[in-house]
Amino acid sequence: MPEKPRLERQPMCDRLAMEFQDGWIVNLGVGMPTLCSNYVEPHKSLVFHSENGAIGYGPLAPPEKADRHLVNAGGQQVTALPGLAIVHHADSFALIRKGMVDVTVMGAYEVAENGDFANWRIPTRKGGGIGGAMDLAACAKRVFITLEHTTKEGGPRLLKRCTLPITAPGVVKLVVTDLGLFEVTPEGFKLREHAPGWTPAEIQACTEARLIIADDLREFRFRARA
Amino acid sequence: MKNKTYQTFDEAVVDIPDGSVFMSAGFGGVGVPRNILAAVGRQGAKNLTGISNNGGTLDAKVDVGTLIAAGQVKKMYCAFTAATHPSQVTPFVRMYNNNEIDAEVIPQGTLAERIRAAAAGIGAFYTPTTVGTELAVGKEQREINGRRYVLEYPLHADYAFIRAWKADTFGNLVFRLTQRNFNPVMAMAARITIVEVENDIVPVGELDPDHVHVPGVYVDRLVRIPPDGIWD
């Protein structure tokens, strides 16, 4: 496998955030997906929702602006934006199940070409960590996934079928990895954008699923066109 | 109206028997009833069943994990029974892996709705969450208007442990920002609701009725957190 630079986490999340549309309700998973909130396009007004019932919260709070009663789904202190509303946990998930969340961004261990993904349990270990992932995956209008293209051992994570217990079937719409941007189509993964210096053949070599190469394949976009 | 104020947390939890089922609110370290949990730890009730978002964290703060680590809890219902990262193995997860405690992992929204169902007198409900996953296996499913749903049942409890921002002596409660989380549904679901309050407990009539999040009829016992209590 070529030892070429891969994409960093922030540009990966920036690329997903470019897809957010004005007015969307956005739910960001704990960990890497939180980075999506760092990419701001002034002409887009987004409503960030977190499982613990904050609707319309703002960026992470610097220490002097932190409020001990206001945290996001990862327990990080965030700022209140004008228009913030608070509901309790059952109402927060009522909003999710009704399908009001326009996009949820999550990490995953595996994604399959049929839109399945797995991020809550490894069968060799006891138990699992679901949090709000299954409710969001089953009910949000769109599921975007961010993950490293290969495992630590170099194995593929973009698969024909998931090997781990899935979080929800057939829901993933868009995947960003450190090698590119992939749309999940009825025919499988479509490579839309590739990391700089990586050819489609090199990316295919790290991927179990067969990639469809987009007619308008281009290099990975780091910023939206002004 | 009845004054439900207790002077100390120890008095408010003294009669909790072994084998009780408790709900404990809080999310992301906010709205956690740490003073009540500390008192239950001192009281020493055993064979408890816990219902909470998680089984405690790795920090040194008092939470549900404190009771678990002390061996007071035999089963947990929660949204996390495994470490989210190999470096994040809590006492609860270690005990679960060693078969020293039983647990059922529940998607967070289903957990919240099962508690709400108990609070609302609902016999069961259908949710789309878990359809097509191993967690739906063996559960009653039904197609309604072209979509599949899984049947889930209420989670009842003997006690709810709650943390509020403000309260009056009758137990009307107000929460602040994301302190609210599981607190209102748990306060309304349990048979006996015990609340720790961050501000002075005010006489009835002082809270704006339109700003009350939980009516006092659901609340049984209130304790003002003392200055030397657990605040964060």
- pLDDT (tens digit, 9 = 90+) per residue, A20-72? 999 999 999 998 999 999 898 989 999 999 999 999 999 999 999 999 999 99
Task: Give me the pLDDT at residue A191, please.
Answer: 98
Strands B147-152 and B159-164, by their bridges, are unpaired
Check residues B148 and B86 and name the one with the higher pLDDT: B148
Domains for chain B: give ranges and CATH numbers. 17-121+155-224 (3.40.1080.10)
Tokens of B147: 């979509």
Q: Which of B82, B133, B165 sits opposite A126 (nearest CB)?
A: B82
- pLDDT (tens digit, 9 = 90+) per residue, B52-81? 999 999 999 999 999 999 999 999 999 999
Cβ neighbourhood burial of B116 (10 Å; 0-12, 13-18, 19+): buried
The reply to whether residue B28 touches residue A52, judged by beta carbons under 8 angstroms, is yes
Q: How far apart are CA A48 and CA A59, in angstroms?
A: 10
Distance from the A52 Cα atom to the nearest Cα atom in chain B, whole angstroms = 5
B51, B155, B178: best to mutate for the A interface, most A CBs within 10 A:
B178
Q: Using alpha carbons, select from A175, A76, A167 the residue that is nearest to residue A129.
A: A167
- Tell me the pLDDT band of B87, cut-offs 50, 70 and 90: confident
Residue A3 appears among annotated catalytic residues: no
Task: Give me the pLDDT at residue B168, please.
Answer: 98
- pLDDT (tens digit, 9 = 90+) per residue, A170-213? 999 999 999 999 999 999 999 999 999 999 999 999 999 999 99
The reply to whether residue A138 touches residue B213, judged by beta carbons under 8 angstroms, is no
- Structural contact between residues A172 and A115, judged by C-beta atoms closer than 8 angstroms: yes
Q: Which of A30, A70, A167 sits opposite B177 (nearest CB)?
A: A70
Residue with token string 């996009």: A103
Residues in B closer than 8 angstroms to A134, CB to CB, are 107, 109-110, 129-130, 133, 135
- Type of residue at B204: V
The reply to whether residue B178 touches residue A166, judged by beta carbons under 8 angstroms, is no
pLDDT (average), residues B180-194: 98
Count other C-beta atoms under 10 Å from residue A139's C-beta.
23
Share of chain B above pLDDT 90, in %: 96
Task: Give me the pLDDT at residue B88, please.
Answer: 85
- Structural contact between residues A175 and A147, judged by C-beta atoms closer than 8 angstroms: yes
- pLDDT (tens digit, 9 = 90+) per residue, A91-109? 999 999 999 999 999 999 9
Looking at the DSSP assignment, which residues form a beta bridge with residue B105? B78
pLDDT surpasses 60 at B98: yes
Count other C-beta atoms under 10 Å from residue B133's C-beta.
23
Task: Give me the pLDDT at residue A3, please.
Answer: 78
Per-residue H/E/C for B84-141: CCCCCCCHHHHHHHCCCCEEEECCHHHHHHHHHHHHHCCCCEEECCCCCCHHHCCCCE
Q: Tell me the average pLDDT of chain A.
A: 96
pLDDT surpasses 70 at B84: yes
Q: How far is CA A32 from the centre of its chain?
A: 8
Residue with token string 């899984």: B150
Residues in A closer than 8 angstroms to B164, CB to CB, are none
Residues in A closer than 8 angstroms to B175, CB to CB, are 88
Find the range with the poorest average confidence among A3-7, A49-53, B138-142, B199-203.
A3-7
Distance from the B223 Cα atom to the nearest Cα atom in chain A, whole angstroms = 19
Q: Which of B28, B115, B178 sits opposite A86 (nearest CB)?
A: B178
From the candidates A3, A51, A187, A219, give the one annotated as an active-site residue.
A51
CATH of span A9-219:
3.40.1080.10
The reply to whether residue B28 touches residue A126, judged by beta carbons under 8 angstroms, is no
Share of chain A above pLDDT 70, in %: 99
The reply to whether residue A132 touches residue B177, judged by beta carbons under 8 angstroms, is no
Residues in B closer than 8 angstroms to A152, CB to CB, are none
Contacts of A53 (CB under 8 A, 6+ apart): A86, A87, A88, A89, A91, A92, B178, B180, B181
A30, A72, A135, A161: best to mutate for the B interface, most B CBs within 10 A:
A135
Distance from the B218 Cα atom to the nearest Cα atom in chain A, whole angstroms = 16
pLDDT surpasses 90 at B1: no
Q: How far apart are CA B195 and CA B184, in angstroms?
A: 11
Distance from the A98 Cα atom to the nearest Cα atom in chain B, whole angstroms = 10
Task: Give me the pLDDT at residue A1, please.
Answer: 54
- Tell me the pLDDT band of A2, cut-offs 50, 70 and 90: low
Nearest Cα residue in chain B from A93: B109
